[in-house]
Structure 1
C-alpha cells in the first residue's frame, strides 16, 4: 500500500518541500531512509486530513507537515495520519515518533504550541516540533 509512494535513499540530504516550506533531514550517517509521500499518494486511502510526508529511519518515524501558518489544522492532520499509518503499515514497533510542522511563520503562541505538544504526546506518544522554514534536522535532534 505504501510501496508505490515510497522512495528509499541513503543520500546525505533528504529533502521534502512544498510551496515555500522546506524540511531537510541531514543523513550524515548514510542510513537507509524511507521517504513516503502521504498526501497525494493515490494508493493510500486515509479518511479525513493527512500530513504531507513520513520519513522512516530505523525505528524512528518522522511525520512532516509543510504549512503556511495554520498549525491547528496541521495537528489534526498529523494525529489522523499517525493513527492510520499505525493500523496499516506494520510500523507498530516504532520506538520514537516525531512530528514536524514546518511553517512560513508561526502564528501561535508558545503556550498554544506547548499545549498541542502535550496533546500529541498523550494521544500518540509523539514529540511535536514547530519550526520555521527552512528546517534542518540532524540525527542528534531525534
Structure 2
C-alpha cells in the first residue's frame, strides 16, 4: 500500500480499536504484529477525490480496509472499493480483508445480496469482505502474516 507519513501511525498493541460514531471494530493482536494504520478520510484521500473508507491498515503482506457505518452497507462497500483502487499497490493480487461494521442493517434485499457482493468482491479484488453488526472483534492471528524481525 502506498505510504502517507502525515496520515499514518504504527501500533503493536494487544487490541487495536477503531471507532466512528456508534460503530466499533476491535482487532485482537495477541502476537503484537506491527500494524500501520491510515486514517483515510481527509488525509490521503481528500473530499474532492470521491468515496473513501474510514481506515486502511497494513499488516505485513495483508491490506485491511475498514468502513464503520450506520446502515448503508452497499454504500460502505462502494467506499471500500474506491479506496482500494486509489491506495492499493496492486488491487487484483495483494491479499485484502475488508470490514463493514454497521449499527443497523440497511441492505434492501437482505443477506442474500451480501453473499453476492462478497463473491464479486473476492473475485475482483482478492478480498474477503466481512459485514458485521457493531461491536465486532476480529483476531488478527486468523491471517497469515510474515513476521518481521525487530
TM-score w.r.t. structure 2 length? Answer: 0.84
Taking only aligned residues, the RMSD between alpha carbons, in angstroms, comes to: 2.0
For the residues of structure 2 that align with 1:10 and 1:65, how far apart are their CA atoms? 21
2:91–2:125 contact (8 Å) kept in structure 1: no
* Corresponding residue number in structure 2 for 1:107: 106
Deviation at 1:47, TM superposition (A): 2.2
Aligned twin of 2:130: 129
Q: 5+ residue gaps in structure 2? A: 144-150
Contact 1:60 1:94 (C-alpha < 8 Å) held by counterparts: no
- Structure 1: where are the runs of 5+ without partners? none
Paired position in structure 2 for 1:5: 7
Secondary structure at the counterpart of residue 137 of structure 2: strand
Shift, 1:93, TM fit: 10
Contact 2:11 2:36 in 1 (8 A): yes
Equivalent residue pairs, number: 138
TM-score, structure 1 as length reference: 0.88
Whole-angstrom CA distance in 2 between matches of 1:77 and 1:121: 16
CA distance in 2, matches of 1:93, 1:67: 25
Q: In the alignment, is the contact (CA less than 8 A) between 2:85 and 2:91 conserved in 1?
A: no
Match of 2:140 in 1: 139
State how far apart, in whole Å, the 2-side matches of 1:140 and 1:7 are.
21
